[in-house]
Structure 1
Amino acid sequence: MDSKVNVKKLTILSVMIALDFVLSPIFRIEGMAPMSSVLNVTAAVLMGPWYALVMAIVCACLRMMLLGIPPLAFTGAVFGAFLAGLCYLTYRKNWMAVIGEIFGTGVLGSLASYPVMVWYTGTHNQLFWFVFTPKFFGGAISGSIIAYLLLLKLSKTKQFKDIQKLFFK
């Protein structure tokens, strides 16, 4: 029985990774990835912090390798996904996942991007600490609001609740 549950969890995680990878570049505004925030919040509420974190890491790596996106794909996604999941796990409220995503991506992710981009570009005189914050914050807010509206409907469905039961026992 446990192996059947694990296969279901990995299948759902794989579908979330595929959705994130396909949708993020389609609805991307330069420097902002609101669809990544939509999927981070949805994954956090659906699967919890650890699976949301895995999804964000895998998607970031895929985006960097296959789409040529700089390391901002990594710093922009992992903090928000994990904090959204942690906030949801703690309070079991969809809006808390939204707060976790906005703070994780908009603040922590943007600040973590500065040293990463200094290393990546080899220059620091053209960058300053908050250079990424407005775009990351804008993408996180818009994507999180969309996710919240999506979750209002999804949370009422039997299928969504059944999937949540697999991850939150």
Structure 2
Amino acid sequence: MKTKKITISSMLIAIGVIVGNIIFIPVGVSKCFPVQHTINVLAAVILGPGYAVAIAFCISLLRNILGTGSLLAFPGSMIGALLAGILYKKTKNNLLAVAGEIFGTGILGGLLAFPVANFIMGKKIGALFFITPFLISTIGGSLIAFFILRVLDLKKLTNLNKEA
């Protein structure tokens, strides 16, 4: 079972890093990445919160190393993945996983991006600057994940999430 989880995680990380070079929305110092939010919800439902956060971290790290992302990817992606995973684990409801991703990334991640941008990146912006672009990105990506989950055979996939 662990080998399957690691394999799926690796595939999601590869998709996230590769597609990050193709599909993104530049907003000031950030790059909004709807595919990240799709991956966060899918990982949260299929693999659980721990794997979802680890996948979000790895994608953010690799995109930063490759120069295709920014430091803002960390708070945006990881908080959303965590909330999506926790809400799904507690409720087994795909829509609540989507809501967790949207709130975690759009609101909490948008707020936490402010100190990262101001103090680490040296960009002087308003405290609420990232909420709107993060929300736009996460709503689009999370809804894509919701529709993918409706099509997939979740009985087979969610067996991987039982021990997560």
Asked if the contact 2:20/2:63 (under 8 Å) is kept, the reply is: no
| Partner residue in 1 for 2:38 | 38
Paired position in structure 2 for 1:77:
77
User: Which letter maps to 2:15?
Assistant: L
Structure 1 residue 167: Cα displacement: 2.7
User: Where does residue 12 of structure 2 map in the other structure?
Assistant: 16
Q: TM-score, normalised by structure 2?
A: 0.91
Query: Which amino acid counterpart does residue 54 of structure 2 have in structure 1?
Result: V
State the alpha-carbon separation in 1 of the partners of residues 32 and 97 from structure 2.
19
What does residue 52 of structure 2 align with? 52
Cα distance in 2 between the residues matched to 1:27 and 1:122:
26
Consecutive unaligned residues of structure 2, counting only runs of 5 or more, are: none
* Alignment check: 8 A CA contact 2:49 2:82 kept: yes
Q: Which has the higher helix share?
A: 1
Q: CA RMSD in A?
A: 1.4
The match for 1:167 is 161
Residue 126 (structure 2) aligns with:
128
Structure number with larger C-alpha Rg: 1
Equivalent position SS for 1:67:
coil
Letter in 1 for 2:52: A
8 Å Cα contact 1:110-1:130 kept in structure 2: yes
Distance in 2 (alpha carbons) for counterparts of 1:136 and 1:25? 18
Contact residue 33 and residue 137 of structure 2 kept, 8 A: yes
Give distance in 1, aligned partners of 2:119 and 2:68.
Answer: 17
Aligned position for 2:99: 99
**How many residues matched?**
159
Residue 68 of structure 1 deviates from its aligned partner by 4.2
Partners of 1:79 and 1:109 within 8 A in 2: yes
Give the match's secondary structure for 1:130: coil
Report the TM-score when normalising by structure 1.
0.88
Which digits, 9 at most, give the CA deviation of each residue in 1:73-97, with x for residues without a partner?
A: 1111000011001110011010000
User: Are the equivalent residues in 2 in contact too, given 1:25–1:33 (CA < 8 A)?
Assistant: no
Unaligned runs of 5+ in 1: none
Do the aligned partners of residues 61 and 108 (structure 1) sit closer, same or farther apart at CA in structure 2, a change above 3 Å counting?
Answer: same
Q: Which moved more, 1:73-82 or 1:8-17?
A: 8-17
